[in-house]
Amino acid sequence: MWTRDENDKHAYKCLQELQSLSEQNNEAYKFFDEFAAMPDNTNSYMRTRGFLLISANAKWDEDYKIDEIIDNYLKHIKDIKPIIASQCIKALPNLAKHKPELRDDIIKTLNKVDVYICQ
């Protein structure tokens, strides 16, 4: 898949195209299962791309796939790499906007974050 390209510049360009496409229609949603696997990748760029693409496709998630992976997604709020945690959190408003049934899970997890860990 394009977002798994070893060339980070090319993969980033693909990410931008997929995000733009996801704003317009549900064409990228057919790759959702691949997006859902990305946050568990050892590569931090790959994890970030996964969060962003999951969030970007939240409005098309009529199959409740995000509901099935939300616990795994939210565990990355405490990612060992602060930039990953930050990207995960930044993607949450769009996810919560389109998946209101997950707002309580999101809020509970955010309330458990130790903000002093990053200082």
Domain ranges, ordered by start, for the chain: 2-118
Residue type, 3: T
Mean pLDDT of 63-79: 94
What is the separation, in whole angstroms, between the first and last Cα of the chain? 37
54 within 8 A of 91, measured Cβ to Cβ: yes
Mean pLDDT of 85-109: 95
- pLDDT score recorded for residue 3: 55
When pLDDT is cut at 50, 70 and 90, the band that residue 10 belongs to is: confident
When pLDDT is cut at 50, 70 and 90, the band that residue 4 belongs to is: low
- pLDDT score recorded for residue 8: 76
The DSSP symbol for 99 reads: -
85 within 8 A of 60, measured Cβ to Cβ: no
When pLDDT is cut at 50, 70 and 90, the band that residue 5 belongs to is: low
Q: Locate tokens 């930044």: which residue? A: 90
